[in-house]
Structure 1
Amino acid sequence: MQYVAPIGVGLLYALLMSLIREPHRRRFNAVMVAGAGAAYLSGGGLGGWEFAFTAVITYVAYRGLDSWTFIGVAWLLHTGWDIVHHIKGNPIIPFAHTSSLGCAICDPVIALWCFAGGRTPKELVAWVRGARGRKGAVAGETGRVAEADAGLSGA
């Protein structure tokens, strides 16, 4: 359950964030990941590196105000920081020893949603269906081109 629950939290986060209309959804998520980047400042145990990480993630989150890709990158940076803290032994929630591990499992789920453009569930389904349709269309066109090339060779 320790590994499954964080995935559910990431999915729930994406679902709830989908309720916010664009462009506010992207901007709100940029602010959220910037806040997450500062989560360890009050006791992460890595000294000045905590400030350096917060500065980096703040910059990436700022770029995320206009780009879902940067928000996804920021969540992946936070994942790495969670792993460092889990190994170091300074969890994000002091009384929950595996909280940083849970965060490290949750954050990539959110990052994947961001890399998919932070779409609503309905938009995600349409996007996946469209990608499948485009893949079939490209394969069909390639087949027609190969047939045309074969016809020219034989003539």
Structure 2
Amino acid sequence: MIVAVVAPVLIGLLYAVVSSLIREPHRRRFNAVMVAGAGAAYLSGGGLGGWEFLFTAAVTYCAYRGLESWTFIGVGWLLHTAWDVVHHLKGNPIVPFAHDSSLGCAICDPVIALWCLRGGPSLTDLIRSRRGPLNPSPGGAT
């Protein structure tokens, strides 16, 4: 059970770290496209009928606004989290052959949403700044 929670959290963190390699403003735009794709992920299953189209339209709006706003991208991921929970409870997972895939997605997505709601900061720059400047000379002498 711990792996079922830890793995999605790590996937969300990995997503944020890898996305951090993209420089702004391209990082924000890339993430707007990604949340748009996530918003349409359940369409092929159609487990909730016409509601799937309404949900996709709502996330598409968030993605469009997300082209200029990290907040809308974060809201889009939170909407997707709620949709994941509904699909998990209904027994209509995002990956049809993986029963708990929507649950895993519902754990992963808020990690991404929190990063987006903080403005999608570069985590790679944060890691580099905490490590301090790299000293290329042997023995640490300058």
For normalisation by structure 1, the TM-score amounts to 0.78
Output aligned runs, 1:63-74, within 5 Å: 63-74=65-76
Match of 2:63 among 61, 64, 79: 61
Q: Which structure would you say has the larger Rg?
A: 1
Which of 3, 12, 15 is residue 13 of structure 1 equivalent to? 15
Q: Secondary structure at the match of 2:57?
A: helix
Q: Which runs of 5+ in 2 are unaligned?
A: 128-142
Q: How does 1:96-111 map to 2 (within 5 A)?
A: 96-111=98-113
* Total equivalences in the alignment: 126
Specify the SS of the correspondent of 1:42. coil
How far is the alpha carbon of 1:121 from its aligned partner? Answer: 1.7
| Aligned CA-pair RMSD | 1.3
Task: Name the CA shift for 1:115/1:123 in 2 (closer, same or farther; >3 Å).
Answer: farther
5+ residue gaps, structure 1: 126-155
Whose relative contact order is higher, 1 or 2, with alpha carbons under 8 Å and at least 6 apart? 2
- How far did 1:122 drift? 5.2
Structure number having the greater helix percentage: 1
The DSSP-based 3-state class of the residue aligned with 1:10 is: helix
User: Is residue 44–residue 91 contact of structure 1 (8 Å, CA) maintained in 2?
Assistant: no
What stretches of structure 1 move > 4 A for 4+ residues in a row? Answer: 122-125
